[in-house]
Structure 1
Amino acid sequence: MEDTPLLALRRVSRRVNSEFSLREISLEVYPGQVHAVLGRNAAGKSALFAVIMGAVPLQAGQLLLEGKPVCFQSPAQAVQAGLMLVGQNQEMFPTLSVAENLYFGMEPRVGKLPVLDTGKMRRQTKALLEQMGLEVNPKTPLGQLSPARQQLIGIARAVVSQARVVLLDEPTSRLDSGEKQEFYRALEGLRRQGRGFLLITHDLEEARRLADRITVLDRGRVAYSGPASQLDAAGLQQAVYGLGAADPYARPRFSPGRELLRVEAPGVGLCLRAGELVGLTGGAAGQGLALVRALGGLAPGGVRVWAGGEPVELDSPLAALAAGIQIATNQLDEEVVEQASQLLQRGSGTGARGKARLGLRTFSQDLGRSLRSFVVAPPREEYMTGGNRRRELMERALDRVGLVYLLCDPTAGLDLPSRRGLYELAAQRLSEGCGVLWVTSDPAEAAGLCDRTVDLSAAAG
């Protein structure tokens, strides 16, 4: 390992908003090293990345790039200097080819002419992806690749930009176990080339596997910093969350009651009963999300559904509400947000059939939850991190009156305390005679939390 770090932070401080500040953070990233930045949601991890990348100007302290002081005024300056951020939701173009995404804004030209050299671009793309262990046709539209491979294209773009330091913000939070392994292999290859990585992750096993050093943030300050090898699994959990090594998936279990929901789709058949938490795993990228959106009336068609033993046509969000179905997805696009808003606005008009199905429990739940939402003020939006926003999204779904709750990757990007809180809220709904369908890409969560699982791998799509 070289003596001079690729990136060094010296007592970096920055007031983020009226309630939160980063205070005197110091860390280093060396060539070929992964330095994990861990902590609870809202500990300051993403805010620190924003300061490093110049999205938020530095107020105090020093940022050194290969030993030289730098002060970026914009992300463009950081990228030009050799930094690159690869996040959960990358700004790429699904209809453009892999090569076009890889070289977007950096396209090779034919001599001095203003003409793209597409042949050279594809050849260089093919060579780079082979170097990373990826067999991908450069002409393939990016949107046809799995989420894992799209993440890898983001890292490959960092290589094209000559980035020496890559900042990874929850890069595997929505990848299944096989996709994670592909991601890890590519990352290891880039480490051998001498690149350095800063990694934000809530997966502590992932941190122990990948990281050479670990820095834990707590309320904007460094709570721990040292070699990853000094902490075992229990010690790391204690350092990050202050929690012992209790079973993270422990919850009350209930005997299955009456059938609440039965679904038949191409290659998939499932039944959800009162008091059951059923996991939905496997399948092609986005398949669980597509099924949940269909059951929520957001994308009707191709699914036969029975609610309470009666066939129902889920051709709209209102029809799903009348059947007692509440959903929360992992795709925060405008369509889903608008549809969710419509569900809330029209919730009082579910009609006599829906009211009869929900019964008296509807009134008591609705009153209690309305009082709680009135008394407990939500966190200020300016202080809400991505993980906190996701937790709020899932909690709002579980707080709405229903019989069946369909949650898509509910704990992606959540820290352990937030996960446990969500598990407890789901268990409360189960105790009331509801059922929960839990779509997850985390095999450990599926095995530990769910009463049983349904594998989508055999589904036709």
Structure 2
Amino acid sequence: MQRDQAVLSLRNLTKTFPGVKALDGVKLDLYPGEVTALVGENGAGKSTLVKTITGIYQPDGGDIYVCGQPVVIQTPEQARQLGITVIHQETVLFDELSVAENIFAGNYLTKGLLKRLDWPQMYQRSGEILAQIDAPIDPQTPLKELSIAQKHMVAIARALSVDARVVILDEPTAALSYHEIEELYRIIERLKQSSKAVMFITHKFDEIFAVADRYVVYRDGSFVGEGLISNVREEELVEMMVARSIKDTYPKQTVDIGAPVMEVENFCHPSEFTNISFDVHAGEILGFYGLVGSGRTEVMQALYGLSKAATGRIMIDGSQTRFHSPAEAIAAGLVYVPEERQQQGVVLNLPIFQNISLPQLSRLNRWGFLNEQSEYELAREYGERLNVKAASWSQEVGNLSGGNQQKVVIGKWLATQPKVIILDEPTKGIDIASKAAVHRFMSELVAEGLAVIMVSSELPEILGMADRIIVMHEGVMVKHFHRSEANAQKIVSAATGGKAA
């Protein structure tokens, strides 16, 4: 592939926060018509880099060049004017506005001396941009009527509306189904064909090798290496990321599986799922797999008492029960680690020790008096056990990396000493080393006799960690595999409604 002049270049870029050197003299080159994967663990400096490129942060040192010319990017508006745009994992759009209004928000087309909004031109231009990425969406449609994948297309169209030269995709597939990811790949290919320089940030190596032409690796805020994807193997990228070889990301232990801890019979919801029946045993990891919209998460939330409309029979340790609230589930020994950790799992502006102690305030703080020492000791016990990386247990959770936030959520619920723990997408959005740490800890939990239900959309994780696998499709359990008989083809076929499984 011919290498033209880089559209965006960084040289010796540094950024320091109190006590932390987030970027330590890093470099980066993004070329037109190429996808460059930015690879690194949580805490490697990727988010800080993106915020610096887009004018949210100001670097302490170093140089930024656009098409060979030195620039200073002091605001997001300046970045936009230079043709730099970013599409985040959770797309920032406006549900109550139309597609066209979202595409041109902050950059509306006007006409006449009075600069009135030129709606016909915006609708026409929106349609043209959407057609460029093969997105058959009516520009006048309210955004709230679109799927997550379609909203991503609108976000990309918004980037193209300002004649972007650099498009940064930050974990763009986290909430997409298998088919929606394939469509995103096609859109990325069209961006390449139109000579956009694309930076692709993801923790999923299959995506890196599917779409990227080049890679750049950061570790602990420093540049480690770069090169062509065609010249590197996954094992080499992992070793560059973590400075050590991770040969076994899925450290599955052989554990004697005990008696059933939780049994579910004919569990139904009038609109989400029907006839869900399964059991999970002590020392077992039971995997639930399905595409987005299959009903996996809805089942788990209903079991946990978050849905009042569900019906059916639940047994824990042989005693029939029914949870009308999460508090009742926790008291019975069932806990749930949600997929959306920042919205549902932690309180970002509270310190680590208060997050971990939150479900047990009445036990730790007797007679209504706060006992911060007890809360701190509990946080230290589970924080050390999960190897949470933090300056202190008083650090705000919002200042931790995604992987360490997830460890805090898991630690919070493990501290209640449950019998069954539901892990919904336990490694979503976290790096390879943090994934391996979570998987090792899962193995330790079942070795101690805990029953684990793991909901995951990542096939390698399901195949690598689960003892049994339940596949859901459109709210129904369609297949039940034992570990020895499961493979990727059977599971995907079942999840997509195929017959081959």
TM-score range, shorter chain: 0.7 to 0.9
Q: 1:321 aligns with which of 318, 330, 334?
A: 330
Counterpart in 2 of 1:297?
Answer: 305
Q: Does structure 1 retain, via aligned residues, the 8 Å contact 2:84–2:166?
A: yes
The TM-score with structure 2 as length reference comes to 0.80
Q: Deviations over 1:325-376 (max 9, x none)?
A: 11111224656657x8996046749xxxxxxxxxxxxxxxx9x966614878
Q: Deviations over 1:52-101 (max 9, x none)?
A: 11111022111011121111112222122211111112222234333332
Measured after TM superposition, the shift of residue 129 of structure 1 is: 2.5
Alignment partners' CA distance in 2, 1:220 and 1:374: 23
Q: Bigger CA drift: 194-203 or 290-299?
A: 290-299
1:127-174 deviations in Å (ceiling 9; x for gaps): 332321223344444344443333232222211122110112222233
Letter of the 1:304 counterpart? G
Choose 121-130 or 82-91, whichever is displaced more: 121-130
Describe the SS at the equivalent of 1:163.
coil
Contact 1:109 1:115 in 2 (8 A): yes
Task: Kindly provide the amino acid, as one letter, of the partner of residue 149 in structure 1.
Answer: Q
* Cα distance between partner residues in 2 of 1:112 and 1:56: 37
Report the equivalent of 2:202: 201
Question: Which stretch of structure 1 is more off in the superposition, 297-306 or 194-203?
Answer: 297-306
Q: Provide the rounded CA distance (Å) in 2 between the counterparts of 1:232 and 1:299.
A: 45
> Would the aligned equivalents of 1:176 and 1:442 in 2 still touch at CA under 8 Å?
no
Instruction: Within 5 Å, give how 1:38-437 maps onto structure 2.
Output: 38-109=39-110, 111=112, 116-244=117-245, 246-263=247-264, 264-265=267-268, 266-267=273-274, 269=276, 270-285=278-293, 287-308=295-316, 309-332=318-341, 337=346, 344-345=359-360, 348=363, 372-373=381-382, 379-380=390-391, 381=395, 384-437=400-453
Q: So what's the TM-score if we normalise by structure 1?
A: 0.86
Residues 94/400 of structure 1: CA separation in 2 closer, same or farther (3 Å cut): farther
Check whether the contact 2:303–2:323 (CA below 8 A) recurs between aligned residues.
yes
Residue range with higher mean Cα deviation, 369-378 or 315-324: 369-378
Aligned length in residues: 444
CA distance in 2, matches of 1:292, 1:166: 37
The one-letter code sitting in structure 2 at the alignment partner of 1:162 is D
Change (3 A) 1:286 1:100: farther
Partner of 1:355: none
Of stretches 297-306 and 443-452 in structure 1, the one that deviates more from structure 2 is 297-306
CA distance in 2, matches of 1:121, 1:455: 44
Aligned to 1:361: none
User: Cα–Cα, structure 1 residues 271 and 167, in superposed 2: closer, same or farther, change >3 Å?
Assistant: same
Residue 182 of structure 2 aligns to a residue whose secondary structure is helix
**Can you give the 5+ residue segments of structure 2 that lack an aligned partner in the other structure?**
348-354, 365-374, 478-501
Specify the SS of the correspondent of 2:409.
Answer: helix
The AA in structure 1 aligned to 2:359 is: L
Q: Would the alpha carbon gap of residues 336 and 415 (structure 1) be closer, same or farther in structure 2, given more than 3 Å must change? A: closer
Distance 1:242 1:378 in 2: 17
Structure 2 CA distance, aligned partners of 1:370 and 1:331? Answer: 21
Q: Which residue of 2 aligns with 1:352?
A: none
Classify the secondary structure of the residue corresponding to 1:445.
helix
Q: 1:334 to 1:7 in 2, by over 3 A?
A: closer
Partners of 1:41 and 1:415 within 8 A in 2: yes
Pair 421,333 (structure 1): closer, same or farther in 2 beyond 3 Å? closer
Aligned partner of 1:267: which letter? T
8 Å Cα contact 1:177-1:442 kept in structure 2: no
1:320 and 1:326 in contact (8 A); partners too: yes
For 1:291-338, what per-residue CA distance to the aligned partner results, in whole angstroms no more than 9, with x for missing partners?
333333334332534132433232212111122111111224656657
CA distance in 1 between partners of 2:165 and 2:422 (Å): 42
Are 2:451 and 1:442 equivalent residues in the alignment? no
Greater RCO (CA < 8 Å, at least 6 residues apart): 1
SS of 2:473's partner is helix
Within 5 Å, give how 1:5-44 maps onto structure 2.
5-44=6-45
Q: CA RMSD in A?
A: 3.1
Q: 1:52 to 1:100 in 2, by over 3 A?
A: same
Using the TM superposition, give the Cα deviation of residue 191 of structure 1 relative to its aligned residue in structure 2, in angstroms.
Answer: 0.9
Give the fraction of aligned pairs with identical amino acids, expressed as a percent. Answer: 29
TM-fit CA distance, 1:399: 4.1
